[in-house]
Amino acid sequence: PIASVAATSLDLPDGADAVVTGLTLGDGQPYCSGEEAGPLIDLPTQLPDTAVSLGYDAVAVTADWPLQPRPVRQVGLQVPEYAAIGARLLADQVGTANDGSVVQAVRVDLDGNGVDEVLVTYERQQAGDFGGDGDFTSIYVRYPSSDATVIDELLVAHVSTEPVDFPTPGRYTIAAVADLNGDSVMEVMVRGRFWESGGVQIFALDAGRLTGVASGGCSI
């Protein structure tokens, strides 16, 4: 039997590094249009509907280790450098790269080496519910090193080239940062929502870079 379930989310009212413990797995409930089902987990506090919520807002782990061995902090949405980096990384993909906004910025020492990585969500979502017209979504990572150099890399990105026929424009945001396997290194959970589909991707550090290791979701 599973004795311990803990959950975390950047959207928890107590902050990005809040962890909810003492949870239990409930009965299986359908979560998609087919036969997919999974256990329901009731949180004691309701997750608010934020500007970056996409319906996949928390991650739960059936284990008893600390989900966040180091602080996770949301910072600096107005830092000009973060927007400039996002625009530079997307410059060869879309002509509106300079028109984006930073909607998430998260600082966290993922591997415990004493140097914080920075996760930034940079997007342009101006064309309305059906997307298109140069809108884009992206998440990039800043990897500083002890010698004061920094490497900036796109983690995920999508450019809307034309409107879709369902009111769900493509979008990525960061849902949670947590140690999902008990090794004291934190993984990153990215949520995505696109035309008739939605889900999450899990990224883990491999040789100092975040790499996709798992994903799940629902589509019609």
What's the mean pLDDT in 156-171?
89
Distance CA 101, CA 156 (A): 16
Tens digit of pLDDT for each residue in 191-202?
A: 999 888 899 999
Q: Is the pLDDT of residue 1 over 90?
A: no
Q: Per the structure block, which two tokens stand in for 100?
A: 């984006």
Q: Is the pLDDT of residue 28 over 90?
A: no
Q: Is the pLDDT of residue 220 over 80?
A: no
Write down the residue that tokens 């059906």 correspond to: 130
> Is residue 3 packed enough to be buried (19+ CB in 10 Å), middle (13-18) or exposed (0-12)?
exposed
What's the mean pLDDT in 85-104?
97
What percent of the chain shows pLDDT beyond 90?
64
Confidence band for 187, pLDDT divided at 50, 70 and 90: very high
Q: Is the pLDDT of residue 34 over 80?
A: no
Whether this model's pTM surpasses 0.85? yes
Would you kindly state where each structural domain of the chain is located, as residue ranges? 5-219
Phi, psi (rounded to 5 degrees) for 176 = -160, 155
Q: Which one, of 73, 103, 32, lies nearest residue 177 by Cα?
A: 73
Confidence band for 111, pLDDT divided at 50, 70 and 90: very high
DSSP labels, 68-107: -SS-EEE--TT-HHHHHHHHHHHTTT-TTGGG-EEEEEEE
What's the mean pLDDT in 153-172?
91
pLDDT at residue 41, rounded to an integer: 86
How many Cα atoms occupy the beta-carbon half-sphere of 77 within 13 Å?
A: 8
pLDDT at residue 48, rounded to an integer: 85
Rounded alpha-carbon distances, angstroms, from residue 149 to 115, 122, 146? 12, 22, 7
Paired with 137 in beta bridges are 123, 158
Distance CA 149, CA 121 (A): 21
